[in-house]
Structure 1
Amino acid sequence: MPSQSNKALSADIQHKAESYWSSLKIQAPEITSLPPEQQLELQQMLGLSDYIAEQLCRHPQWITELFDGLLDEVNRSDFDQELHQLLADVTSEESAKSVLRQYRNKQMVRLAWRDFGNYAKLEDSLVDLSSLAEALVISARDWVYQDMCKQLGTPQDANGNAQPLLILGMGKLGGRELNFSSDIDLIFTFPEHGETHGGRRSLDNQQFFIRMGQKLVNLLDQVTVDGFVFRVDMRLRPYGESGPLVVSFSGLEDYYQEQGRDWERYAMVKARVLGPWTTYCDELHDLLRPFVYRRYIDFSAIESLRKMKQMIAQEVRRRQLTDNIKLGAGGIREVEFVVQSFQLIRGGREPALRQQSLFGAIDTLYSLGQLEYWAVDELKESYILLRRVENLLQAIGDKQTQTLPDNALDWQRLCHSMGLADETELRGQIEAAMTKIHSHFNATVGGSDAQEQSDDWTSLFWNIQHDDHADTLLQEHQIEDPELWPLLSHWRDTVSKRSIGPRGRETLDKLMPKLLDELMGQAKPSAAFSSVSNVLDKILTRTTYLELLCENPGARQQLVSLCCASPWIAKELANFPMLLDELIDPAQLYDITSVDDYPSELRQYLLRVPEDDMEQQMEALRQFKLSQQLKIAAADITGVLPVMQVSDHLSLLAEAIIEQVVVQAWHQISVRHGVPEGTSPSQMGFAVIGYGKLGGIELGYGSDLDLVFLHGNKSAGQTDGDRPIDNSHFYLKLAQRIVHLFATRTTSGELYEVDMRLRPSGASGLLVSEIERFGEYQTQEAWTWEHQALVRSRFVFGDHELAHRFSEIRAAVLQTQRDKVELAKSVREMRIKMRDHLLQVSEGIFDLKQSPGGIADIEFLAQFMVLAYSHEYEALTVWSDNVRIFEVLAELELLPVMQAQHLTQSYIWLRDENHELTLQQLPGKVDADLVKDKVDTVIDIYKYILEN
Structure 2
Amino acid sequence: MAFQFPFLATLANLPRPGRPDRVEVAIERLLDRAESHGEECLAAIRAMLAHPQGSALIAAIFGNSPFLTEAILAEPAFWVTVATNGPDATFAEVINPINDELAAAQQSPDLMRSLRIAKRRAALTIAVADIAGVWPLMRVTGALSEFADRCLSVAAGHALAIKRQQKGEAMSADLVANSRRGLIILGMGKLGARELNYSSDVDLILLYDPDRVSSGVAALRDTLRETYVRFAQDLARLIHERTGDGYVFRVDLRLRPDPASTPAALSVLAAETYYETVGQNWERAAMIKARLVAGDAEAAALFQRNLRPFVWRRHLDFAAIADIHSIKRQINAHKGGTESVPGRDLKLGRGGIREIEFFVQTQQLIWGGRDPSLRLRPTLEVLSALVAAGRVQPTSAEALAAAYIRLRTWEHRVQMVEDQQTHKLPTDPEAFAAIAAFSGYADAESFTAAVLETLEQVRCHYGDLFEESPPLSGPGDLVFTGVEDDPATLQTLTGMGFSDAAGISETVRGWHHGRIRATRSARARELLTELMPGLLNALAQTPDPMAAFRRFDRFLTNLPAGVQILSLFQQNPGVLDLVAEIMGSAPGLAEHLARHPRLLDGLIHDAQRISADQPIATEAELAEDLAAEFAQSNSFEEVLDGVRRWTGDRRFQIGVALLRGEITPEAAARGLSAVADTVIGALLPQVHREFAQTHGQVPGGEFAVLALGKLGARELTASSDLDLVFIYRVPDGVDQSDGGKPLPPSLYFQRLGQRLIGALTVLTAEGELYQVDMRLRPTGNKGPVACSLESFTSYHADEAWTWEHMALIRARTVAGDPPLCADVRAVREAVLTRPRDRAVILADVADMRARIAKERPGQGAFDVKDRPGGLVDVEFIAQGLILSTAAPGAASLPPDLGHTLTGLHWLASVRVLTPDAADRLIRAGRLWQRLQVMLRLAGTGKFDPATAPEGVRRALVRAAGVLDFSILEQEMSEAATEVRALFQALIVPAAPATDPSATGDA
Query: What TM-score do you get using the length of structure 1 for normalisation?
Result: 0.52
Query: In the alignment, which residue of structure 1 is the partner of 2:591?
Result: 647
Query: Is the CA contact (8 Å cut-off) linking 2:12 and 2:132 kept in structure 1?
Result: no
Cα distance in 2 for partners of 1:575, 1:866 equals 44
Specify the code of the residue in structure 2 equivalent to 1:71: P
For 1:306, the equivalent position in structure 2 comes to 325
Secondary structure of 2:347's aligned partner: coil
CA distance in 2, matches of 1:77, 1:57: 20
* Aligned residue in 2 for 1:203: 222
Kept in 2, the 8 Å contact 1:169–1:274? The answer is yes
Q: 1-side partners of 2:180 and 2:29: how far apart?
A: 52
Q: Residue 110 of structure 2 aligns with which residue? A: 95
Task: Spell out the pairing of 1:832-911 with structure 2 (5 A cutoff).
Answer: 846=716, 848-853=718-723, 879=765, 881-882=767-768
Map 1:726-875 onto structure 2 (within 5 A).
846=716, 848-853=718-723
Normalised by the size of structure 2, how large is the TM-score?
0.49
Deviation (angstroms), 1:638:
2.3
| Matched AA of 2:360 | V
* Residue 19 (structure 1) aligns with: 25
| Bigger-Rg structure (1/2) | 2
Q: 1:28 aligns with which of 29, 34, 49?
A: 34
Letter in 1 for 2:590: V
Name the counterpart of 2:871.
none
Quote how far apart the aligned CAs of 1:165 are: 1.9
Distance between the aligned counterparts of 2:123 and 2:770, measured in 1?
65
Q: CA deviation at 1:19?
A: 2.0
Mapped partners of 1:863, 1:180: distance in 2: 77
Q: CA RMSD in A?
A: 5.6
Report 1 or 2 for greater relative contact order, CA contacts < 8 Å, sequence distance ≥ 6.
2
Cα pair 2:15 2:439 within 8 Å, conserved = no
Q: Note if 1:920 corresponds to 2:935.
A: no
Partner of 1:54: 70
* 1:28 match: secondary structure: helix
- CA offsets, 1:682-708, max 9 Å, x none? xxxxxxxxxxx9xx999x99xxxxxxx
Q: How far, CA to CA, are the matches of 2:581 and 2:326 in structure 1?
A: 25
Match of 2:87 in 1: 71
Secondary structure at the aligned position of 1:400 is classed as coil
Distance 1:864 1:189 in 2: 62
Q: Which residue does 1:107 correspond to in 2?
A: 122
CA deviation map 1:378-426 (0-9, x unaligned): 1101111111111111112111111112245544554445433222222
Q: Distance in 2 between matches of 1:572 and 1:547?
A: 11
The aligned counterpart of 1:263 is 282
Residue of structure 1 equivalent to 2:423: 402
Query: Structure 2: 5+ residue runs without aligned partners?
Result: 1-6, 36-41, 170-177, 479-492, 527-543, 556-572, 598-643, 653-693, 696-706, 725-750, 773-813, 817-931, 941-950, 961-1002
Distance in 1 between residues matched to 2:129 and 2:547, nearest whole Å: 47
Please give the per-residue CA displacement for 1:298-334, whole angstroms capped at 9, x wherever unaligned: 44444223322244559x99xx995111112211111
Specify whether residues 648 and 446 from structure 1 end up closer, same or farther in structure 2 by C-alpha distance, changes over 3 A only: farther
Matched, 1:137 2:152: yes
1:796 corresponds in structure 2 to: none
Counterpart AA for 1:882: E
For residue 186 of structure 2, give the secondary structure of its aligned residue in structure 1.
strand
Find the residue that maps to 2:98 and give its secondary structure.
Answer: helix
Distance 1:545 1:237, change over 3 A: closer
What amino acid is the match of 2:276?
Q
Residues 797-832 of structure 1: CA deviation (Å, up to 9, x unaligned):
xxxxxxxxxxxxxxxxxxxxxxx99xxxxxxxxxxx
Give, as a single letter, the amino acid of the residue that structure 1 aligns with 2:255. Answer: L
Deviations 1:855-881, CA, capped at 9 Å, x for gaps: xxxxxx9998699799xxxxx997262
Q: Is 2:303 the partner of 1:284?
A: yes
Instruction: Report matched runs for 1:429-828 at 5 Å.
Output: 429-447=450-468, 575=497, 596=517, 638=578, 646-647=590-591
Q: Say whether 1:230 aligns with 2:249.
A: yes
Q: Contact 2:717/2:937 (CA < 8 Å) preserved in 1?
A: no
Which residue of the other structure, out of 120, 130, 140, is the alignment partner of 1:125? 140
- 1:113: how far off? 1.8
Instruction: Flag the 1:17–1:300 CA change in 2: closer, same or farther, 3 A.
Output: farther
Contact 1:330 1:437 in 2 (8 A): yes
Structure 1 residues 419 and 21: CA distance shift in structure 2, 3 A: same
Q: In 2, distance between residues paired with 1:87 and 1:899? A: 85
Counterpart residue identity of residue 91, structure 1: Q
CA contact (8 A) 2:187 2:292 kept: yes
Q: Which residue identity does 1:114 align to in structure 2?
A: A
Distance in 2 between the 1:275 and 1:847 partners?
66
Task: Report the CA distance between 1:912 and its aligned residue.
Answer: 10
Shift, 1:346, TM fit: 0.8
- Residue 916 of structure 1 deviates from its aligned partner by 4.8
In structure 2, the CA distance between the partners of 1:27 and 1:161, relative to structure 1 (3 Å rule), is closer
Distance 1:238 1:77, change over 3 A: farther
2-side partners of 1:186 and 1:174: how far apart? 9
Please point out which of 258, 265, 269 is paired with 1:246: 265
SS in 2 for 1:123: helix
Contact 1:115 1:392 survives alignment (8 Å): no
2:371 aligned to 340, 344, 350, which one? 350
State the AA in 2 paired with 1:378. A
String of CA shifts for 1:484-531, please: whole Å, max 9, x gaps.
xxxxxxxxxxxxxxxxxxxxxxxxxxxxxxxxxxxxxxxxxxxxxxxx
Tell me, yes or no, if the aligned pair for 1:152 and 1:196 is still in contact at 8 Å.
Answer: no
Three-state SS of the structure 2 residue aligned to 1:235 is: coil
In structure 2, the partner of 1:175 is 193
Instruction: Name the CA distance, whole Å, in 2 between partners of 1:364 and 1:70.
Output: 33
Q: 1:899 to 1:55 in 2, by over 3 A?
A: farther
Contact 2:220-2:227 at 8 Å conserved across structures: no
Checking the alignment, whether the CA contact within 8 Å between 1:4 and 1:117 is kept in structure 2 is: no
| C-alpha contact 1:80 1:136 (8 A) present in aligned 2 | no
Question: Partner of 1:186 in structure 2?
Answer: 204
Give the C-alpha shift of residue 139 in structure 1: 1.2
Q: 1:120 to 1:911 in 2, by over 3 A?
A: farther
Of residues 314, 317, 331, the one that matches 2:352 is: 331
Structure 2 residue matching 1:112: 3-state secondary structure: helix
The alpha carbon displacement at 1:292 in A equals 0.8
Q: Which runs of 5+ in 1 are unaligned?
A: 155-159, 452-543, 550-570, 583-587, 605-621, 654-692, 702-819, 822-834, 855-860, 871-875, 887-897, 901-909, 928-948
What residue is the counterpart of 1:272 in the other structure?
A: 291
* Secondary structure in 2 matching 1:273: strand
